[in-house]
Amino acid sequence: MGLIIFNSVEATQAFGESWATDLTGGEIFALHGVLGAGKTQLVKGLARGLGYKGDVTSPTFTIVHEYRGGRLPLYHLDLYRLKDENAGIDIGLEEYLPSDGVTVIEWPERLASILPPQTRHWELEVASLTERLIRQRE
């Protein structure tokens, strides 16, 4: 698919929204990129695409947010504060790999060795104040 440039928050969200169309449950998205790269904005769009009506906020302190009420449950993991893989296993994160719904993981490198092979890896980069680059890792 190559490199995609998004010039606004709305464009990034619209891309996440477009992912929702053909999801059936069990998909796992790993979003790589620094703080502020737009990972959570992508998840907001995906939640909207799945028909979720509520707010989507970063689960930085709780590790997992579950969004229900859309076409499929959405599980949003932010592993920024996860100490190591064992800590992730201790709190039951394997349950989301895969889940009955759609799993999206910020800071996925924190659980690298237990991410299943079907995980779709995306890399996000900050290009400027308002531009983000997104590419799928082959």
Ligand X SMILES: Nc1ncnc2c1ncn2[C@@H]1O[C@H](COP(=O)(O)OP(=O)(O)O)[C@@H](O)[C@H]1O
Residues forming the site for ligand X (CB under 6 A): 6-9, 12, 33, 35-41, 58, 106, 130-132
Tokens of 119: 């995980």
User: Using CB atoms, what's the residue nearest to Mg ion?
Assistant: 40
Rounded Cα distance between 104 and 129, Å, is 24
Is the CB of 76 or the CB of 88 nearer to ligand X? 76
Is the CB of 8 or the CB of 118 nearer to ligand X? 8
Q: For the chain, list the strands marked E by DSSP.
A: 3-6, 28-32, 64-67, 74-78, 102-106, 120-126, 132-136
Residue selected from 30, 31, 33, 39 as contacting Mg ion according to rule CB under 5 A: 39
Find, among 26, 20, 25, 22, the residue nearest to 116 by Cα. Answer: 26
Interacting residues of 21 by C-beta distance below 8 A, sequence separation 6+: 49
Using CB under 5 A as the binding rule, the residues of this chain from 92 to 111 that contact Mg ion are: 106
Residue 27 interacts with, from ligand X, Mg ion, none (CB under 5-8 Å by kind): none
Residue 132 interacts with, from ligand X, Mg ion, none (CB under 5-8 Å by kind): ligand X
Contact residues toward Mg ion (CB under 5 A) are 39-40, 58, 106
